[in-house]
A and B are shown apart, each in its own frame.
Chain A
Amino acid sequence: NAGVTQTPKFQVLKTGQSMTLQCAQDMNHNSMYWYRQDPGMGLRLIYYSASEGTTDKGEVPNGYNVSRLNKREFSLRLESAAPSQTSVYFCASSEWLQETQYFGPGTRLLVL
């Protein structure tokens, strides 16, 4: 049972480059999330999708876009990467918004 999978696991970008982080879940969950985690800052919500077909901004959406491709997949795109976006990115899913969240293993991104 894979749960939540994320690709890639590691990525190095140059300032200004773009990339898409992929996330998929096989638990038939309705809600999906993207967080970033930085030292001393905890988990900060970037975007979330309460259900298929909807997306909403979280606490720190600037510089990011998301796509809820279908019920399983929720991608995060950085159009023009900046060093401030160096972080560990976690995707999570839950049956509904208030329920237990299941996290992926994370993507470690370094922007030079």
Chain B
Amino acid sequence: TQLLEQSPQFLSIQEGENLTVYCNSSSVFSSLQWYRQEPGEGPVLLVTVVTGGEVKKLKRLTFQFGDARKDSSLHITAAQPGDTGLYLCAGVRGNNRLAFGKGNQVVVIP
């Protein structure tokens, strides 16, 4: 059973469009991290959200942590080809270990 479910698994959009991807769980996390992985490279941290209801912005990327700290969303405004990648969410569990979701593969077509 996957602790963190990410949806959709794959998303292809045209440059300039907006998109939202989701990371859901039945478990409560003390914090949640979002990473982006580009082809042939390792994941790189984008943001960490800690407080329920928290919203963080990173240029055109908006991250939200659910009020109950069980889910999160990533919204990209006016997507660019450079946003193409695998977006991974990871939650910190009670044993202080990170649990990763399977990822949202985003492709932005020029």
Q: List residues of A whose CB falls within 8 A of some B CB.
A: 4, 40-43, 45, 48, 90, 92, 96-98, 100-106
Contact = CB atoms under 8 A, between A and B. Distances in A.
Interface of B: 2, 9, 30-31, 33, 40-45, 48, 88, 90, 92, 95-98, 100-103
B98 A101 contact: yes
Nearest to B90: A101
Given A97-B95, A101-B43, 5 more contacts: A4-B42, A41-B102, A92-B42, A98-B98, A100-B33
Contact of B92 (A45, A98, A102): A98
Contact of A42 (B31, B33, B41, B100): B100
A106 B42 contact: yes
Given A103-B44, A105-B41, A105-B42, A98 B31 contact: yes
Contacts of A96: 96
Nearest to A6: B42
A104 B42 contact: yes
Nearest to B97: A97
Nearest to A41: B102
B41 A106 contact: yes
21 contacts: A42-B88, A43-B43, A43-B88, A43-B100, A90-B42, A90-B43, A92-B42, A97-B95, A97-B96, A97-B97, A98-B31, A98-B96, A98-B97, A100-B33, A100-B45, A100-B48, A102-B45, A103-B42, A103-B44, A106-B41, A106-B42
